Structure 1
Amino acid sequence: MVIKFFSQTTGFIYCILALFVIIVLWKKGLMSRKIRSVFLFASVLSGFLFFSPVAPYQFQTVFLRNLSSHGSPAVFVVFGLLFIAIVSFVIGRIFCGNICPVGALQEIISAVPVKKRGKYLKKYYVFIRFFVFIAFLVLAVLFSISLIGILGIKDFFTLNMLSISFYVFLIFVILSFFIYRPFCRFICPYGLFLSLLAIKSRYKFRRTDLCIDCRKCETVCPVDEAKAGDNKSECYMCGRCVDVCPVKGALVYSSEFKKE
């Protein structure tokens, strides 16, 4: 139990430190593809070593009223989820994009040069995720059934290959080669919650007066959230838009809206 608690705590400490460092790097304009890759691999490693901070699973335990199922005190779990939610409301979905082991694993796989499908169907993705969220609530609250457990997040990251659920999540991993972040965009109930908060987040990727409207950011964005007027609710802070922007300072991570 002590080791289990220590592991969960270590993962949460990593989450806090990583959030702080990534925010500073983006604000200072120092973030790069290599640095993002370091955080992504560190996040995935955290998932396999500590099974933390795997927020979708922890979010599920709240509705199952089984907060201690993974060895951490209930107050610790609730505080962690609230902390991530508040931070996401201010800075956007940095947690989903770079720190959650589930999202980080899919992000790494998405870099494989295979043509992705369904980029321009984000409205349908949101609709499907709302439907899944309702099913998630009904199953958890009325029947004490863990949808996230059935889908195999814990079995996958704990390498429980004897469980059928391990292979259920493995399907999502394989789909990540062809669809950008399928679990995040179709299933994740906590991600849906954070996406609603991100709509009003203070810090986002914003165009400045230096923007030349070349639309390269729109072309490369894997979730179709780089257009003028997009609310960035589905922006996973992957940084592809900044990478391809031909004018330095035309697209920045900022709290000030300058041009749309």
Structure 2
Amino acid sequence: MNFLYLKRARVLISILFFISTLIIFLNINEWLTSKSASVITYLQFVPSLVKFLSVVGFSTFGFVFIIAVTFVWGRVYCSSICPLGTLQDIVSYLSRKISRKKNHFLLKPYSIIRYSILCLTIIFLISGSLFLLNLLDPFSNFGRIISNLVRPIVFYIRNFISGILESVNLFFLTPADLKNIDLISVAIGLTVLIVVVAFSYKKGRLFCNTICPVGTLLGIFSRFSIYKIAIDESTCKSCNLCERECKAGCIDKKNKVIDFSRCISCYNCFNACHSDGIVYVNTVKTNTLGQQTDNDDRRRVFIKSLLVYFASLSGLSIAQIKIIPKKESTVPVYKKFPVSPPGSQSISQFTSSCTACHLCISACPTQVLQPSFLEFGFLGMMQPRMDYYTSFCNYDCVICSEVCPTGAIKNILPEAKKLSQLGKAVFVKDNCIVYTEETTCGACSEHCPTKAVDMLEPHKNLKAPKLNNDICIGCGACEYACPTKPYKAIYVEGNPVHLVAKKP
């Protein structure tokens, strides 16, 4: 039987998933919608699994489909759906074109390393921490690379071209607004990219078979796959072409054995073999009756145990601030709690479900969502936070809740969001220029959508801000608009648990 079409199909599917995922993370013209995000991220293993652990529903069963496919055909997810896997394939392909090294060879299984990482990840997950999952999830790592490294570069190039076009009176390409670049996030994303590129440049898919917990887990499942790639000793000519093309390094030419726990179902070996020595076998039919019964029983017990386990488990626009204080503010601002995104319900719920993929950061139209460093603690590193020094949250915007693939930010209606209190405003009188410079301001009140900040407090012949936190929703418009530096005269203290504000 001719299996050459399998590689072509795999390449086509992987390119489609790679490009579509790349597009939603770049989000150049804010074309990202909740529907497109949910469709593209539905089959991403870790976001789907994490969402399943917090919200059970059809929209969370993408990972179950991946497991089912793995039990039938092996690690198709790794070869065709995972965007980080496709990125590695691109690097590996280019490395073979650039360097003199043209062949792959059998690699050590590194079983102790990969199973230790998987066990530690599961232990962290069971204990309620997503730290290792955030750090190692291939989808989230791909998202951080695109959001923090590629996206700013694309925006700068776009703005450069836009400037050239404007100089000749062509205005069809508008400049992109990139408010902030977090250097720590850039450094982490760059480190991951260097590691992934180095692994794939030298050893193909070694990263997937040593460090990635998803690859290791699916590798365990693939041991029980119904259809497996095998070497037909009767037709094999021992030419070693299949081993040279195996990007996973899992073909043992000497013993004519394929380690299917490391095979990523790339199907390169089919195209390499000219003697029909590589075949796709049905392990159920090829076994003897007794072996078939034993294997079927083991497979049924494994799947049943797995199933039992899973069953148990923008209206506001802020103009450029023109008020320039004459002197710097002097009272430091210390925030006890960061502000988690609208729809996250609480900091604990958010940090226990967020994989830090940064899709919400790419989708946010005001760019108020920024990667955290230690604001959520060491284990919450890189998870998004509301950065009101950089921007503010639009009064009726809920796009982050619509695109979140894990359920860390749950769907929230615009009307409910307008009463969701993410935090409360705090006024620092000794930093306010109405008091320190005796000059009029009112930037905070002017931009507050609920008028929780109003210029009602008399101060000599001026009016100073007065807070009504009953109607404050913690959107950060006041903090962003406040002109004092380096410390704001008004800031938002995050609510550990989101509250409901009164109607303005």
TM-score, normalization by structure 1: 0.71
Per-residue CA distance 1:204-253 (angstroms, 9 max, x = gap): 22234433333321233233322323341111122221122122x33222
Per-residue CA distance 1:176-211 (angstroms, 9 max, x = gap): 222322431222222212111211212122234433
- Map residues 28-47 of structure 1 onto 2, 5 A cutoff: 29-31=3-5, 34-47=8-21
- Map residues 128-167 of structure 1 onto 2, 5 A cutoff: 128-142=113-127, 144-151=129-136, 153=141, 155-156=143-144, 159-161=147-149, 162=182, 163=185, 164-167=187-190
Aligned residue number for residue 261 of structure 2: 233
Aligned residue number for residue 277 of structure 2: 250
CA RMSD of aligned residues (A): 3.1
- Map residues 11-50 of structure 1 onto 2, 5 A cutoff: 29-31=3-5, 34-48=8-22, 49=24, 50=37
- 2:63 matches 1:81: yes
Instruction: Give the Cα–Cα distance (whole angstroms) in 1 for the partners of residues 243 and 72 of structure 2.
Output: 24
Query: How far is 1:37 from its partner?
Result: 2.9
Instruction: Give the Cα–Cα distance (whole angstroms) in 2 for the partners of residues 168 and 94 of structure 1.
Output: 27
Instruction: Give the Cα–Cα distance (whole angstroms) in 1 for the partners of residues 243 and 10 of structure 2.
Output: 20
Higher relative contact order (CA 8 A, sep 6+): 1
Per-residue CA distance 1:13-37 (angstroms, 9 max, x = gap): xxxxxxxxxxxxxx76341655443
Structure 1's unaligned 5+ residue stretches are 1-26, 68-72
Instruction: Give the Cα–Cα distance (whole angstroms) in 2 for the partners of residues 221 and 116 of structure 1.
Output: 11
Instruction: Give the Cα–Cα distance (whole angstroms) in 1 for the partners of residues 246 and 148 of structure 2.
Output: 35
Aligned residue number for residue 181 of structure 1: 205
CA contact (8 A) 1:96 1:191 kept: yes
Going from structure 1 to structure 2, the CA distance change for 1:116 and 1:82 (only over 3 Å counts) comes to farther
Instruction: Give the Cα–Cα distance (whole angstroms) in 2 for the partners of residues 197 and 159 of structure 1.
Output: 32
Per-residue CA distance 1:64-110 (angstroms, 9 max, x = gap): x5x4xxxxx54346521122112211111122112222212212221
Aligned residue number for residue 200 of structure 1: 224
Structure 2's unaligned 5+ residue stretches are 25-36, 150-181, 288-504
Instruction: Give the Cα–Cα distance (whole angstroms) in 2 for the partners of residues 116 and 134 of structure 1.
Output: 35
Of Structure 1 and Structure 2, which has the larger fraction of its residues in helix? 1
Instruction: Give the Cα–Cα distance (whole angstroms) in 2 for the partners of residues 221 and 245 of structure 1.
Output: 11
- Match of 1:41, SS? helix
Amino acid in the other structure paired with 2:12: V
Going from structure 1 to structure 2, the CA distance change for 1:110 and 1:57 (only over 3 Å counts) comes to farther
- Asked which structure has the greater CA Rg, the reply is 2
CA contact (8 A) 2:104 2:247 kept: no
- 2:82 matches 1:54: no
- Match of 1:122, SS? coil
Going from structure 1 to structure 2, the CA distance change for 1:121 and 1:215 (only over 3 Å counts) comes to closer
Pick one of 100, 110, 123 that aligns with 2:92.
110
Instruction: Give the Cα–Cα distance (whole angstroms) in 2 for the partners of residues 94 and 37 of structure 1.
Output: 11
- Match of 2:11, SS? helix
Instruction: Give the Cα–Cα distance (whole angstroms) in 2 for the partners of residues 120 and 92 of structure 1.
Output: 19
Aligned residue number for residue 22 of structure 1: none
Amino acid in the other structure paired with 1:129: R
Amino acid in the other structure paired with 1:102: L
Instruction: Give the Cα–Cα distance (whole angstroms) in 1 for the partners of residues 104 and 242 of structure 2.
Output: 17
- 2:67 matches 1:93: no
Going from structure 1 to structure 2, the CA distance change for 1:181 and 1:57 (only over 3 Å counts) comes to farther
Query: How far is 1:41 from its partner?
Result: 1.6
Amino acid in the other structure paired with 1:75: G
Instruction: Give the Cα–Cα distance (whole angstroms) in 2 for the partners of residues 129 and 172 of structure 1.
Output: 16
Pick one of 236, 241, 259 that aligns with 1:211.
236
Amino acid in the other structure paired with 1:122: K
Report which stretch shifted further, 73-82 or 237-246: 73-82
Going from structure 1 to structure 2, the CA distance change for 1:232 and 1:41 (only over 3 Å counts) comes to same
- Match of 1:144, SS? coil
Going from structure 1 to structure 2, the CA distance change for 1:238 and 1:42 (only over 3 Å counts) comes to same
Going from structure 1 to structure 2, the CA distance change for 1:62 and 1:145 (only over 3 Å counts) comes to same
Instruction: Give the Cα–Cα distance (whole angstroms) in 1 for the partners of residues 129 and 75 of structure 2.
Output: 29
Amino acid in the other structure paired with 1:220: E
CA contact (8 A) 2:48 2:61 kept: no
Going from structure 1 to structure 2, the CA distance change for 1:54 and 1:252 (only over 3 Å counts) comes to same
Of Structure 1 and Structure 2, which has the larger fraction of its residues in strand? 2
CA contact (8 A) 1:139 1:147 kept: yes
Per-residue CA distance 1:143-162 (angstroms, 9 max, x = gap): 52422323552642651343
Going from structure 1 to structure 2, the CA distance change for 1:182 and 1:169 (only over 3 Å counts) comes to farther
Instruction: Give the Cα–Cα distance (whole angstroms) in 1 for the partners of residues 109 and 222 of structure 2.
Output: 16
- Match of 1:205, SS? strand
Aligned residue number for residue 15 of structure 1: none
